[in-house]
Structures are given as C-alpha cells and as structure tokens.
Amino acid sequence: MTIKWTKWNRSVIEKSHGNVYFYRDLYEGNHSTIFSRAKDLIEKGEIVDNIIEGTQKAMNVRTPYIMANVSKLIPEIPAMLVARSIGAITSSINSTEEQNEEANEKTAGQLDGPNDNTVNGEILNLQKELIEQIEKNSNLRFEHWSNIVQQQVDGGLVGVPWNDERGLRIDFKQRDVYFPHEDGLGADLVYQREFDEEDYLHVYRERVEEKGLRATHYLYHINSGDQTEEVEEDEAKELLGLDELEHFYEGRTRQFIVYWANEKTFTNPLGVSCLKNQEGKQDEINWTLTRNAITFERNGKPRIAVSKEIMQALQNAALERYGDESKIDHRDLEITTFDDKGKALEVIQIDITKIGDIEWVKDLMKMMFIETKTSEKAVDFYLEGGSGSAQSGVAKFYDLFISIVKAEQLQSEYIYFLQQLFENVLWLANKEDPAVIIEEPEITIKSMIPISRKELIEENNRAYTDGTQSLETTIRRNNPHASEEWIQEELERVEAEQSSDDSFSLLNGRQTLQQFMGNRDENGDPIQGKEDDE
C-alpha cells in the first residue's frame, strides 16, 4: 500500500517522525528557543541571549542564559567510541585473473586511474578495488561519527546506494525523509526541492513486486496551502535531470534503502531519540545555573555603607562639581572622617560560596546519564583530575563499562548497516557487469579505548602466537592507519622471512644439511650413528 502525497508541510513529517526537530535543537543547544522558562525570562528582560536575540538589552540586569548542554554529550560519547573502532573495509574475496579480465568498460570506468595498459590502469583485484572505490566515493571515513550522532539524536538513519554520474556510492540521509509503506513492501524518500524559485516535492519510491523491485521518481509542485500537484513526466525528467523516471530490478526481493532504527520497539518501529524524556532535566539544569547567575549578578558585587553625614557630604560635592547630586565621585571616598563611634564607611558583601545548587545540577546530570546508559567516567575525563593518573586499557574499560556496552551494541548494528549497503551497491554494479561478485565486505574492528602502542602490539602478537588470529589481521591491527598497499607488502615481507626458516623447531638452531635430508645420505640410505655401529 503506497502513500498518496496530496499535502506537504512540517506536520506531515512530525506525524510520522514525532518531535525530531525538537531533539535536534536540544542537541545543538538552541535551548532558549524551546524551553518556555528561558523564553519568558528573555521577554521580561531578566536575561539575554545575544546569539539568538541579537543585542537586545535586559531591563534589570545583564545576565546571559547559562547552559550546560549535557544533551550534547549523550549522543557524542558512544559516537566517539564506535567511530574510532571502525577500521578498513575490504573484500572477503580475492578476484582471479579471469574475473579481472572479464570486467567490462563500465566497471573499469568506475575505478580511479588512467584507462590504459600501464600498471596504474590495470585491474589487479576487482572486488578489492571496487569496494575501496565505493568507500572513497561515499567519503565514508569522514562519515562514521556524524552518522552515529545523527542516528542517536533523530532515532534513526537512512542509507541509500546510488549508481549515477558520481559513481557507485552510499548516501546517508536524515530520518525525516523516510516514509515506509504500511504493508512493509516499500518505502518513499521525500525531499522538498526548489526549481526556478518554485517549491517542489521529490519522491523516490521503492516497491517490491512479484518478480523484482521497482524504483520510481515522482515530482510534485507545492501550491499555496501546502497542497501538491503531480508534474508531467517530461517536465519531471527535465527538472530532475533524469533520462528515465522508473527502473525495474528483476530478481531483487529486498529494498535498496536501508533504515537503521535506534532502540526499536513494537510501539516505536522507527526508533526513538536517545534524548527522549531528557528535556525536562536539561531545562532544570539550565534554569538552576541561570538563576544562580542572576543571584550572583545582583548580590555578588561588594557594596559600601556610609553614615548619613558622609552621604550628604558626597552629594553636596557631586552637586557642586557636576550639578547633579546623584553623580557621586568615588575619589571623594579616598579621604573621609570618622563618626563619633569611630566608623566612616563599611564594605558589605554576601558570601557567594553559599549561592547556587550545584549538587542539584550534578544529581540531574547523574540521572540523565543513568537513563541514557552513559558512564559518568566518560564525562569525568573532561574534568580536573579525571584522567590525571596513568591507566591501563583494562582499567579504562571498567571505568567506561556502561558506555562501552552501549557502544558495542551500536557498533554491531552499524557494521551490519554498512555491510547491507555495500551489498546493495555491489548488486547495482553486478546488474551492469556480471564479473562483480555480490558480497558483504569485511570491516576491521579496532579498539574503542585508546591504549599505548606497547599494549596494542603485545595484545595482537599474543593472539597470533596463540593461533587465534591470522598474520594479516595482526599486521592490520598493529598498523591501523597503514594503507592497503603497505599492509600487503608487509605481509609478503614477513612471510618471506618466515619461509627462510625450516619447518622444525628453531630451538635447536638452524637446519644442517643432514637434517634437511631427513638424516639420509645422498643415496637415500639412513645415516647410521656411532651407537648403531657398535
């Protein structure tokens, strides 16, 4: 059952995706526009927000709106852990020379390099080079962190494979463009676009049918009143820059569009934001800090108390000097007389250490961390003394245990999300060239927690010597930033050095000629020892 697009506005989006814009503002720190108490104080002139309100003056005191944006840390901490753990993406298949030679011109044109018979123009490993090219076209190494943050804030992320003039690639979209069909057999991606200063609605639809998958582009003109009217096919092709609006992929039984939901449940099939139900505590944190700032602004500055006689003398001096007794000159207070009790003036200042409810703020932050499965130690590292002492990787692991458990779940889901998208892109490539094999590529995983170079090498070398990890994986993990070419050359060098040793244990030294011949002479007869002769 498809969707009929007769109307388009923000309410249509919020009907399917809830308060997605609210949570984006909460993450971005636009709190003065979404919290009513902040807006009321700004309107009354109690506080100012120069970024939002410009240079508007406060009527009473000039106190800024104070924020401690804990909502920014909650999605960014797991994103930081997961993003740094995603390593190289490589093919699990080594293409044969026949497969490399069978690649057609379209596939060869997808790969960067000169189209000639030189070394740079030759295809050495079709699958490996094609996956690397998809990663480069998608700019994927720069997208991991932002993908996870967006998925956490919005509650979902959309991935779409494309094969167009920009090459084979993966596009990542925000949740609010995704509208699944009720029967689960399709989905629409909806964008508001502008052509010739006119607003249009571009709908990309995928629909699973009996014999395959049908992908169709629709274009609607948005009229006054947010009503839509479908554009004729020829005009739609011209505006969208497409030769055909419809494609059919025979034999395809799944959508190319992949949706990754956060904390999906039966009641929230599209997922929920990690900031859901945290807005009240965030508002209270900001309110408490701002209220403390107002109190300090009004009462934190020192005041001077003088006797009536001195005050009258100051006013007379001001009237004589400036013609206004309210313009008291502070220099007149440098020399003064004592009253009959030995007092002339007194400095009055309240104890500012008693102002504020910082413990209440800390309790609110702790509650936010508990509800969102965020380790307090992840925040303590930013504070004074939080990471002052040296810690091993194991100690850091237990300090960040809750955040790591959450991050590991996100990591496994994100890897599966990427593998599905790569498989879909290779499916598109295979449609044009049968030499391309459809596969889910291998994604190398690195440590989420930064450890010393020594610990990294010891851990991987131990796994290799224990036989639980291959030599190639060991080299990759010991050199996480090395290029694929360097890794392959290093692998060949290590294997060449190892092959120069015999297959026996080296504990007794290098092989002798007799050991190499299996203790037989040149005629193949066993060599008799002295004891045998006796």
Domain spans of the chain? Answer: 303-348, 452-511
pLDDT at position 384? 47
308 compared with 119, residue with greater pLDDT: 308
- Which pLDDT value is given to residue 414? 98
Out of 247-256, 385-394, 458-467, pick the least confident. 385-394
Cα gap 506→515, rounded to integer Å:
12
Highest mean pLDDT among 363-367, 477-481, 509-513: 363-367
pLDDT (mean) for 15-32? 95
* Mean pLDDT on 166-175: 95
- Choose the weakest-confidence range: 103-112, 171-180, 317-326, 522-531: 522-531
pLDDT of res. 339: 61
Residue 534 DSSP label: -
**pLDDT of 36-87, one tens digit each?**
988 888 887 777 665 444 445 444 456 788 889 999 999 999 999 999 999 8
Query: Across residues 132-159, what is the average pLDDT?
Result: 96
**Which of 17-21, 288-292, 460-464, 509-513 has the weakest average pLDDT?**
509-513
Window from 44-48, 50-54, 236-240, 259-263 with minimum mean pLDDT: 50-54
H or E, element range at 261 = strand 258-261
3-class DSSP state of 124: coil
pLDDT at residue number 306: 74
CA distance 255 to 205: 10
The span from the CA of 337 to the CA of 342, in Å, is: 9
The pLDDT score that the predictor gives to residue 116 is 64
Interatomic CA distance for residues 56 and 42, integer angstroms: 9
| Residue bearing the bigger pLDDT, 342 or 17 | 17
Rounded CA separation 259/231 (Å): 28
Residue predicted with more confidence, 295 or 416: 416
pLDDT of residue 385: 47
Mean pLDDT calculated for residue range 321-327? 85
More confident: 207 or 37 = 207
* Residues pairing with 174 in the sheet: 157
Q: How many residues are listed for the chain in this entry?
A: 534
Dihedral sign for Cα atoms in the order 80, 85, 88, 94: negative
Query: Quick check: 105 pLDDT over 90?
Result: no
Tell which phi-psi region holds residue 373, choosing left (phi > 0), alpha (psi between -120 and 50) or beta.
left
Q: Does the pLDDT at position 203 exceed 90?
A: yes
Query: Average pLDDT in the 468-494 region?
Result: 86
Secondary structure of residue 324 in the 3-state scheme: coil
The pTM for the full model equals: 0.79
What pLDDT does 313 receive? 84
pLDDT in tens, 181-200: 999 999 999 999 999 999 99
DSSP letter for each residue of 438-451: P---EEEE--SS--
Alpha-carbon distance values, 139 to 133, 134, 147, 166, 172 (Å): 10, 9, 12, 12, 11
**In this structure, are strands 63-64 and 345-348 parallel, antiparallel, or unpaired?**
unpaired
Spatial separation of the C-alpha atoms in residues 1 and 247, rounded to whole Å: 19
**Selection from 470, 416, 405 nearest residue 443 by Cα:** 416
Residue 471 has pLDDT above 60, yes or no: yes
| Interatomic CA distance for residues 306 and 356, integer angstroms | 30
Q: How far apart are CA 382 and CA 375, in angstroms?
A: 13
H or E segment and range at residue 407? helix 401-432
Q: Provide the pLDDT for residue 309.
A: 78
By the 8 A CB rule, do 100 and 93 touch? no
For residue 320, what pLDDT is reported? 87
Which range has the worst mean pLDDT, 48-57, 174-183, 219-228, 406-415? Answer: 48-57
- Sequence-ordered list of residues with C-beta below 8 angstroms from that of 515, at least 6 positions apart, any chain: 502, 504
Find the helix packing angle between 471-478 and 453-465, rounded to 10°: 180
3-state helix, strand, coil in the chain (%, to 5): 45, 15, 35
Indicate the SS3 state at residue 394.
Answer: helix
For the stretch 362-396, pLDDT in tens is 899 999 999 999 988 766 644 544 444 555 555 55
If DSSP codes are grouped into helix, strand and coil, which group holds residue 256? coil
Model confidence pLDDT, tens digit, residues 133-146: 999 999 999 999 99
Q: What angle do CA 41, 46, 52 make, to 5 degrees?
A: 60
* Percent of the chain clearing pLDDT 70 (strictly above): 79
Position 483 confidence tier, pLDDT thresholds 50, 70, 90: confident
168-177, 386-395, 524-533: least confidently modelled range: 386-395
pLDDT at 57: 47
Of 68-72, 116-120, 289-293, 456-460, least confident by mean pLDDT is 116-120
Q: What are the residues facing 215 on neighbouring strands?
A: 206, 247
At 244, phi and psi to the nearest 5?
Answer: -135, 140
Q: Which pLDDT does position 253 carry in this prediction?
A: 93
> Distance (Å, rounded) from C-alpha 434 to C-alpha 109?
15
- Average pLDDT score, the chain: 84
